Amino acid sequence: MYAQPLGNRRFRQNKHIRELVREVRVHPEELIQGLFVVDGIKEKEAIPGIPGTYRDTPETLLMQVEDDLAKGVSKFLLFGVPGPQDKHSHDFDHSFTVSQIKALKDKFGSDIWLAVDVCLCASTISGHCGILNDCGDHVLNPESTEALADMAVQYAQAGADCIAPSDMMDGRVLAIREALDDHGLNQVMIMSYSAKFASKFYGPFRVACDSAPDESVKLKDRTTYQLDYNRPQDALTCSWRDYEEGADILMVKPVVHYLDILKTLSDEIPAPFAVYYVSGEHACIEAAAEKGLIDAAQGHVEAWHAMKRAGASMIITYAARYGREWLGS
């Protein structure tokens, strides 16, 4: 038998053969674009660290999506940011985001696939993802879950195609699935942030959403409900749980430093996996690019390929709108 040379370099000798033997490919249609719409601002605002993604006004949001559709981007993850007057401790008012979902669906209908983030962090005075007890030292799980299910029904009734709970309360997927089904919304999907870690890479997002935990509250951070990166086993347990509670799509977030988790989960659980290439991860490449150390587009594309290799079916990224341009398809 002819012995293949070790690490056959003939496969890498030119662009043509490299294209023919690729094992992994990222398609622009696998990318989901994050969108922020903010109550009470007059003009769209830039977000530090994630250039090309804005805090949109209701008007600029519609223009942005029109522009994205023209570029072939049709899948979105929307974050509604209510104004300070709508921050409460309980009895939340979701009318701002509900109106934005309706406006998007009225204008674009089934031309877009609209997932909407469901979490209380932009609606609570404390900045926490759930409802706090009176002395503010822990999150009340059942009360929070009920509030989240109510929020999900309002978003689904407004036209969301997919509900994406990012709060990390226990049992919220089942509560949301039951509430949706009870309201005849059984077509609406759930994309659960099933393996979401307490991470330092959410910084730019919290600026965009005005959702950092309030310093004056006893509970200082989200480590009591988001996963601990020292316990990868929890990612598996929580993802199986969410799958069994009725989540259609599971998620690993952040992703760049969690590819081992993604690989394990996507090998074990028979659900499509989304990954969230979060704001701080995106910003690291942008910051290096600003210093002239790296090419931002090529850096993001390389990161997307790593996610795909590790088992992602879809990628939530702030650069989905550059997908066609960067991937050349």
CB 258 within 8 A of CB 197: yes
Residue burial 223-235, b: 16+ Cβ < 10 Å; e: rest: eebbbeeeebeeb
Least separation in angstroms between CB 219 and ligand PBG: 13
CB of 203 or CB of 232, closer to ligand PBG: 203
Q: State the Cα–Cα distance between residues 80 and 93, nearest whole angstrom.
A: 12
Among 17-25, 41-49, 204-212, 261-269, the segment contacting ligand PBG (CB under 6 A) = 204-212
Does residue 36 bind ligand PBG (CB under 6 A)?
no
Q: Is 196 a catalytic residue?
A: yes
Other Cβ atoms less than 10 A from the Cβ of 183: the count is 14
Least separation in angstroms between CB 23 and ligand PBG: 29
Among 3-11, 59-67, 148-156, 198-206, the segment contacting ligand PBG (CB under 6 A) = 198-206
Query: Of 44, 75, 87, 253, which one is the catalytic site residue?
Result: 253
Q: Which listed residue (202, 243, 273, 304) binds ligand PBG by CB under 6 A?
A: 202
Q: Which listed residue (206, 241, 263, 305) binds ligand PBG by CB under 6 A?
A: 206
Residue 207 to residues 49, 84, 120, 226: CA-CA distances in angstroms? Answer: 10, 14, 15, 19
Name the H helices within 163-320: 172-182, 203-209, 232-244, 259-268, 279-290, 296-309
Q: Which listed residue (278, 310, 319, 320) binds ligand PBG by CB under 6 A?
A: 278
Q: Is 44 a catalytic residue?
A: no
Cis peptide before 28 (omega within 30 of 0): no
Among 66-74, 241-249, 275-283, 321-329, the segment contacting ligand PBG (CB under 6 A) = 275-283
Q: Which of residues 162-191 bind ligand PBG (CB under 6 A)?
A: 166
The rounded radius of gyration (Å) of the Cα atoms in the chain is 20
Least separation in angstroms between CB 124 and ligand PBG: 11
Among 13-21, 59-67, 87-95, 276-284, the segment contacting ligand PBG (CB under 6 A) = 276-284
Residue 215 to residues 126, 128, 221, 226, 248: CA-CA distances in angstroms? Answer: 8, 11, 9, 18, 36
- In sequence order, the β-bridge partners of residue 250 are 192, 273
Least separation in angstroms between CB 16 and ligand PBG: 37
Cα angle at 164 between 73 and 76, to 5 degrees?
10
H/E segment holding residue 162: strand 162-165
Least separation in angstroms between CB 280 and ligand PBG: 6
3-state DSSP assignment of residue 251: strand
Query: Of 87, 196, 218, 291, which one is the catalytic site residue?
Result: 196
Q: With the C-alpha atoms ordered 64, 30, 309, 195, is the resulting torsion angle positive or negative?
A: positive
Does residue 194 bind ligand PBG (CB under 6 A)?
no
Least separation in angstroms between CB 50 and ligand PBG: 8
List, by residue number, the catalytic residues.
Answer: 196, 253
**Residues making contact with ligand PBG (CB under 6 A):** 117, 119, 121, 129, 166, 202, 205-206, 211, 222, 278-280
